[in-house]
Amino acid sequence: MRLFAAVVPPDAVLDELSRAIAPHVGQVPGLRWPDRATWHITLAFYGEVPERALPDLEVRLARAVRRHTALDLAFAGFGAFSSARRARVFWAGVTGDSMTGLADSLRAGGRRAGATHTDEKRFHPHLTLGRAKTDTDLRPLVESLSGFTGSPWRAEHVRLVRSFTGPQVRYESLAEWALAPAGRD
């Protein structure tokens, strides 16, 4: 199973992102815009995980999530990987509480459960909005959206998600855990 851990923002916040990018969807040659139903913030990517490892992975991730408090977040600005000039991924940036500690805990839990393909790149919180198969200059797109700041929202849950690749990517939520209430001592 191809798995990852993620935060899914509330619909009202995703509505704001949709409205912000709407004039640009379909206007950038070579940029594919994934279906909104797939939008999420990846905290840890595990790749292919054997089904027999799933019970241990769920226990470890539940434990990791409970050690972290809910996060106050907002979307602000847009960018691209690897750069706006030579982009393959177009994204919305995330500001607010740091998600790095939570992401690190989820990655560690995955490794301990035997998820051998855990992504070890430096964590950069973002929501992917577009993908290109070849390097694409997205500077005009990124610059045109530079003033965007979304409404604040609270991330209170983390999901373990199964990814089905192919012509139509789809996701299935396998488990969800609540973060500890914000303001906990």
Residue 68 annotated to the active site: no
In the structure encoding, which two tokens stand for residue 5, read together?
Answer: 């851990």
Non-local (6+) Cβ contacts of 124 within 8 A are none
Closest to 145 measured CA to CA, from 19, 11, 10 = 19
Q: Which residue out of 40, 68, 117, 157 is catalytically annotated?
A: 40
Q: Which residue out of 24, 117, 126, 157 is catalytically annotated?
A: 126
Residue 157 annotated to the active site: no
- CB of 60 within 8 A of CB of 158? no
Please, how many CA atoms are within 13 Å of residue 58, restricted to the half-sphere of its CB? 13
Q: How far is CA 98 from the centre of its chain?
A: 14
Alpha-carbon distance 83 to 75, whole Å?
A: 19
Alpha-carbon distance 160 to 183, whole Å?
A: 25
3-state helix, strand, coil in the chain (%, to 5): 25, 40, 35
Just list the catalytic residues: 40, 126
